[in-house]
Amino acid sequence: MVNTLRRELTLRQAKVLKAVEDFILGHGYAPTIRQLGSALGIPSPSAVLKHLQSLERKGYITREGGDIRVAGLPALLEGQVRVPMAGLVPAGGPRESFDVSGEAMDVPGWMVGRRRGNVFCIRVDGKSMIDAYIDDGDHVLLERTNLANSGEMVVALLEDGSVTLKRLRRTNGQIFLVPENPAFQPIEAPSARILGRVIGVMRKY
């Protein structure tokens, strides 16, 4: 049974707790032990686990099914955040449609975290990303950025002015926008400009 009476933390434990909180606020979900170790510069998973067990004994976190929950943090993540809608974006062939609709959508605050004011939402038109669990009609949340790593899903502006939602791939100095559906072909896009990076998907069943 976890001791709910909080005891004083060591400097290392306080650093681990802050890293967990920062990760949850930034990503909307708890880190794995390896992700936490990477953030802290601790290569040993067993060492990270020992710090988490200490935090749990002192009542600062709970762990259920591998998920880490910080005591008191869920209340900070509750509620809705209004995110601007940016119109339809094709997940099929590129299309000249990226209008700012003037509308907004309410999304859970935990999905946005500390990115508030830097997130927008699109509605997907097409099935080229279906194997990445992004379907026609889904609402996708994106962080505004012009930088993305190879492998991340992005909305990109092509040289002809059209936009598309695809996975960014850099291979041997070449840039491709790759669909997640074998029925579609990758787009070679050396001059593509990144408009946003996917951070979440919302769907109504």
Cite the active site residues. 128, 166
DSSP string, the chain: ----S--PPPHHHHHHHHHHHHHHHHHSSPPPHHHHHHHHT---HHHHHHHHHHHHHTTSEEEETTEEEETTHHHHH-SEEEEEEEEEEESSS-BS-----S-EEEEEHHHHGGGTTSEEEEEEESSTTGGGT--TT-EEEEEE-S---TT-EEEEE-TTS-EEEEEEEEETTEEEEE-SSTTS--EE-TT-EEEEEEEEEE---
